[in-house]
A and B are shown apart, each in its own frame.
Chain A
Amino acid sequence: MVSFAAEPIVYIGNFAITNSFLDTFLVDAIIVGLIFSVRKKLSLIPGKLQTVTESIISEFYNITESVAGTNAAKIFPFFMTFFIFILIANWTGLIPGISAIGIREEHGLIPLLRPATSDFNATLGLALVSVVATHILSIRTIGIFDYLSRYFSLNPINLFIGFLEIISEITKMISLSFRLFGNIFAGEIVLGTVSSMVAILFPLPFLMLEVVVGLVQALVFAMLTMAFMAILMTSHKTHAKEVSH
């Protein structure tokens, strides 16, 4: 049975290198490899890999531009990185046989690799980065006073709305981290259970489903981050004027 917490594989002093953290390294290696591959053959006349990369990046930039307008250039790197990182992390857990490679202990097999996004620390870390980056970008774009006016006001109604906004910021973090963690962890359990029942062919539809779930969850996380950033980077006063008109 898969445990909620990622299993430690080795220890460096007090720091436990867990199987999900090892998977994070795998994700890093894939991303760095991708960067090298694309950079190596980057030219004005693109090859196959460059064409695919350019198409994806251009498409995602266009999506960001359609939502965030002039702020697209600032938001796009976050949107794209969250998508790539989460997608690869989700899909690394779907490599056939990956959960079968591990360390056998008394209570069962501890897989060497476990999707990074099925570790709550990773998803919470991503959510934290998302929320903090959103607020930093907001301050840098609209200024500290306009930013604070969203949460604090002398008007009691607006002050109450500001209080609700603060709560929503906390819930954003919780929803982002738990949604991703829940979906991927649940997928892991489903795949583990199905594979333990019938190991051949039977898990294939579930595997396909998890491929889609992995893609959708990566998109949901990245899109929500983009939407939150776009909203917070719009001036509160301008937004209020637009609503009143």
Chain B
Amino acid sequence: MEFLKSLGFDPIMLGAQILNFLIIFYLLKRFLYKPVMDMVKKREDKITLGLKQAQEAQELMEKTLVDEKKILTKAQDEAKKIIEETKEESRQIASNIQEEAKVQAEKMLTQMRTQLDQDTRQMEKALMEKVSVLAADMLTKSLQGMLTESEQKEIVQKAVKQIKKVN
């Protein structure tokens, strides 16, 4: 005890020092460590959340890019298909038009041929009639003075009949 006394040991001072330390301990624990640790935790949570959101956004972006690529490929395929179909359709239409035009042309050709035949026949008929009249006239004029009028008439009538028969 003497040894402790020589070191300045004082039970009251010891108690005061212990009490003082406990107060400081409480103050630091309650007003410094806890709020600071809470703040650090809060910040860590926020950073973690931010990182998570960033990762999610990146994943979403990657997914969107893949989707976009898929949609683009699908659209390209569809476009190709549409173009092919359109080409095929246009080919079909062109072929149809060509066919129709051919039929039309043939029809027109047939009509024109018929018309031409008809016209030729009419012209031939008219020509024959004119030739008959002309031949009758020529025959009448060449027989004038050689035969009587009645004989002339008879011969001309026979000749005209003969010409008509030939036709």
Chain A interface residues toward B at CB < 8 A: 3-6, 14-16, 18, 21, 24, 27-28, 31-32, 34-35, 38-39, 42-44, 46, 50, 53-54, 57-58, 61, 76-78, 80-81, 84-85, 116, 119-122, 124-126, 128-129, 181
Given contacts A4-B7, A121-B13, contact A128 B28 (CB under 8 A): no
Q: What are 5 A-to-B residue pairs whose CB atoms are below 8 Å?
A: A31-B28, A35-B32, A57-B33, A77-B29, A125-B14
Quick check: A24 and B39 within 8 Å, CB to CB?
Answer: no
How far apart are A235's CB and chain B's nearest CB, in angstroms? 25
A119 B12 Cβ-Cβ under 8 A: no
Given contacts A6-B13, A18-B8, A58-B40, 13 further A-B contacts (CB under 8 A): A4-B6, A15-B16, A27-B24, A28-B23, A28-B24, A43-B39, A54-B39, A77-B25, A85-B21, A124-B9, A125-B14, A125-B17, A126-B17
- Do A81 and B17 contact each other (CB < 8 Å), given the known contacts A53-B36, A119-B8? no
**Is the beta-carbon distance between A18 and B24 smaller than 8 angstroms?**
no
Known interface pairs A21-B13, A31-B27, A121-B14; A57-B36 also in contact (CB < 8 Å): yes
User: Does the CB pair A125–B28 fall under 8 Å?
Assistant: no
Partner pick for A126 among B10, B21, B43, B46, CB 8 A cutoff: B21
Evaluate contact between A121 and B9: CB separation under 8 angstroms: yes
A15 touches B18 (CB 8 A): no
A21 to B25, CA, bound (A): 17
Scoring B25, B31, B42 by chain A CB atoms within 10 A of each residue's CB, the highest score goes to B25
The smallest beta-carbon distance between A28 and chain B, in angstroms, is 6
Cβ contact within 8 Å between A129 and B13: no
Distance to closest chain A CB from B9 (angstroms) = 6
Grouping DSSP codes into helix (H, G, I), strand (E, B) and loop, the A interface class, with mixed when no group exceeds half, is: helix
Measured CB to CB, the closest approach of chain A to B98, in angstroms, equals: 80
In chain B between 36 and 81, which residues have their CB closer than 8 angstroms to a CB of chain A? 36-37, 39-40, 42-43, 46
A243 to B7: give the CA distance in the assembly, Å.
Answer: 42
Give Cα distance in the complex from A125 to B28, angstroms: 18
Residues of chain B within 8 A (CB-CB) of A16 are: 10, 13
B101 is an interface residue with CB less than 8 A from chain A: no
- Chain B residue contacts of A28, Cβ below 8 A: 20, 23-24
